[in-house]
Amino acid sequence: MSESLHIICPACQSKNRVPLDRLEAAPVCGRCKQPLFGGKPVEVDSAGFRRLIEHSEQPVLVDFWAPWCGPCVSMAPQLTAATTRLEPQVRVAKVDIQAHQDIGAEFRIQSIPTLALFHGGREIARQQGAIGANDIVRFAAEALS
C-alpha cells in the first residue's frame, strides 16, 4: 500500500486522503468533486486557515496581505506564478488580515506582505516584503530542505 497525504479541499474544506503516487494526477475531492489543486492561491477565512494548518499533511505557504497594500497587490501575480510551480507539493493560501484580524494578531503579522510556511501545524519559516515568483519558490524549497 502506498503512502498518502491528507489534503484539505479548497472548495468544501473536507479532508481527502490522496496517495502520493496520485498527487500529480489532478486529484478531485471525494465529497464535492472539485479539483484539489487549481494552480492559484486559495483564499481562506479564519476557520479555513486553521483547518489548512491543523489538518493538512502537506506544507502550506500563506500570504498575509490586505487589499489596500500596494506591494501586496503587485505581488499577487507573482504568488500565482509560484503556485503553479509549488502545487501539489505545497498548498498556497492567502489570508486578508484586514478582514481576518484575529489571524494577523495571533501570528504577529506586523508588515505586509508576509509569507509564512507552515508544516505539521506550526510555522517553520517567514519572509517579509514583496518578492518575485522565483524567490517565493526558493523560499519554500529552502525552508523545507
pLDDT digits (tens, 9 = 90+) for 53-65: 999 899 999 999 9
Q: Is the pLDDT reported for residue 1 higher than 90?
A: no
Q: Please name the residues in contact with 116: beta carbons below 8 A apart, sequence gap of 6 or more.
A: 61, 62, 64, 107, 123, 125, 126, 127
Catalytic residue, candidates 9, 29, 32, 69: 69
Q: What is the pLDDT, as a whole number, of residue 64?
A: 98
HSE-up of 76 (CA within 13 Å, CB side)?
14
pLDDT band at 68, cuts 50/70/90? very high
Average of per-residue pLDDT across 15-28: 93
The ranges assigned to domains in the chain are 39-144
| Residue 16 grid cell | 481527502
Give bridge partners of residue 122 from the DSSP assignment: 119
- 32 as an active site residue: the answer is no
- 12 as an active site residue: the answer is no
Q: What is the pLDDT, as a whole number, of residue 2?
A: 53
Q: Distance (Å, rounded) from C-alpha 25 to C-alpha 119?
A: 23
Average of per-residue pLDDT across 16-41: 95
CATH of domain 39-144: 3.40.30.10
* Count of helices and strands (H, E) across the chain: 4, 7
Catalytic residue, candidates 9, 29, 32, 72: 72
pLDDT digits (tens, 9 = 90+) for 74-117: 999 999 999 999 999 999 999 999 999 999 999 999 999 999 99
